Structure 1
């Protein structure tokens, strides 16, 4: 046990994790190993994943539990935190707060093949379909975005203006300030285009109308959150789960696939695979396209830098440079998407003028 304690202390900063697990869960720690951002622990009652429980996540995990209970009726399983013996989702440690979830066997999707891409698309459709008649009980949570795209995007534009002013008026400009000012006009233009396009497509009314096909999104689709299992694939890490229409998840998934492959054409087989489970309405393609237009990565970096002050100057520069690169690379997908879906599905999506 001493060796396990030493290893766990090195990995997590927790000197007596075994004592905490026994006290809060009645679990006897047998072994531990870091794995893909979590700590896998073997106990006398099975394997678990230990994750940090971050400040402000209470409402999100309440939402996850509600959605998990609902989709279970359709045979879709979302792992939820195992409650402590005191009925809590998390427990305090020496370094941080933590929660434990049942361990899911599988391998991360390190290398993508055609079958893997298609499996995830079909699996995503199954999840969205299972949320069609779900109703939220989490009042006022920040994870409720259904029918609020215009409001949220305009608020992001307002924040960008404040961040521009902060950078412009800084007594001693940092390199991050100069970098943001250099790209601010581009970001502003993208937000304005996204809002205008959304409003012309039908705005938040359209989002609400399409919610009958799915009301909840995973919210963080990438390879580290997909497991290959004996049954196929499984999505993990649900802490970014958000109440919104499926077009949001689909757009993120298509952008990610394009980023990994460099081929705009990848969207066609992925959309076909998704629709083999749940067909899309013609207007939903416009919502996907509107999501393409919005510079999500840039907006996120700016918020984390100027509002939350999460990054050092050097970290902020690196994140913003990466975000700009991603957004600029996305332009090829934005240009090609209307033509690709017209040829493949006979759907016409208006293209923004400057493209």
Structure 2
């Protein structure tokens, strides 16, 4: 497949489908099942992306991109072909074409940009509502499926615990065993909370709103322009609660700091709240998802499945220590939900 998508004739045939005069094409990158090219045209620079994904799945993502674009989100304009197609299928891969956006890189350690990212996320969720996907697209969603996900992760953690108990001289396994019972307990508590009204009600409401989340909301998707943050592309979407994106980004930021910073977490949530305020019950769902040890499960999963072949034992140990420090320092924050939620709801817009 790589040989096919790197073939100049294939690229030219795809570009001929679009209403632009192409002047030059240069390869930008080839990684993680995605290849991108910079395309110089008579109407400015474009980015052509080929992803190893079924065209029906790309159709779901691409039309969501256009839905956000049409609703006014600051996102690179995606283009349709002369015949009105938003994707071009090629066996088990698909092409999309969108404008290139120029600007500066955004970094996690700039608090001002971090808050802008949270307000952008809030706009993203607000503007995602009302999305009606093409009947031919392959939809993806986890609405109402959190029970299954939590159970699967807890069962895997239990299984890896048994493996660790048989590796008595393995330093990673020894450290894992010191903390796994606490993480399992927190995970089980979170699982029980999904049976309560807040999760059930918000799931029904979000299904009715027909909104989606990005599922991996990272700063790498953005470029900093004179007009503010701009999303370079829509990498993926799924039907799920907005809290999933909030949880993933907050965890990602705290992971880089190696400790839970409650003040920063609240600032991030308040920035989000100023644009897309959540109810007290909806914040309870966010707290449930933050309580579940997603990051702990992730590093344990990677280790016992050997997913990071290039990682040394020392790097695995460092990563586990980092996650344990983060998860343990999060406890006080998780136990103060009534007070913290009140402080979020009392925040006036613009403060």
TM, length-normalised to structure 2: 0.73
What's 2:126 paired with?
Answer: 129
Are residues 124 and 205 of structure 1, via their aligned partners in 2, closer, same or farther at CA, if it must alter by over 3 Å? same
What's 1:276 paired with?
Answer: 274
Of 283, 286, 305, the residue aligned with 2:284 is: 286
What's 1:119 paired with?
Answer: 116
Instruction: Say if 1:149 and 1:204, in contact at 8 Å, map to a contact too.
Output: no
> RMSD between aligned alpha carbons?
4.3
Counting matched residue pairs gives 330
> Which range is displaced more, 240-249 or 106-115?
106-115
Instruction: Say if 2:131 and 2:211, in contact at 8 Å, map to a contact too.
Output: yes
Of 14, 37, 60, the residue aligned with 1:24 is: 14
Instruction: Say if 1:213 and 1:246, in contact at 8 Å, map to a contact too.
Output: no
1:108 partner SS: coil
Instruction: Say if 1:41 and 1:50, in contact at 8 Å, map to a contact too.
Output: yes
Instruction: Say if 1:167 and 1:178, in contact at 8 Å, map to a contact too.
Output: yes
1:253 partner SS: helix
> Which range is displaced more, 43-52 or 66-75?
43-52
CA distance in 1, matches of 2:224, 2:114: 11
Q: Are positions 1:145 and 2:135 aligned together? A: no
CA distance in 2, matches of 1:187, 1:122: 31
Instruction: Say if 2:126 and 2:276, in contact at 8 Å, map to a contact too.
Output: yes
Are residues 297 and 317 of structure 1, via their aligned partners in 2, closer, same or farther at CA, if it must alter by over 3 Å? farther
Q: Are positions 1:325 and 2:322 aligned together? A: yes
2:129 partner SS: coil
Of 105, 108, 112, the residue aligned with 2:105 is: 108
CA distance in 2, matches of 1:191, 1:213: 29
> Which range is displaced more, 259-268 or 118-127?
259-268
What's 1:64 paired with?
Answer: 61
Q: Are positions 1:161 and 2:158 aligned together? A: yes
CA distance in 1, matches of 2:303, 2:233: 24
Q: Are positions 1:227 and 2:223 aligned together? A: yes
Q: CA deviation at 1:269?
A: 3.1
Q: CA deviation at 1:282?
A: 1.0
1:228 partner SS: strand
Unpaired segments ≥5 residues, structure 1: 1-11, 348-355
CA distance in 1, matches of 2:66, 2:152: 33
CA distance in 2, matches of 1:14, 1:139: 25
Q: 1:88-122 CA distances to partner (integer Å, 9 max, x unpaired)?
A: 64558xxx967454222222203644432232222
What's 2:265 paired with?
Answer: 267
Q: CA deviation at 1:151?
A: 2.1
Q: CA deviation at 1:160?
A: 2.9
CA distance in 1, matches of 2:262, 2:178: 28
> Which range is displaced more, 69-78 or 224-233?
69-78
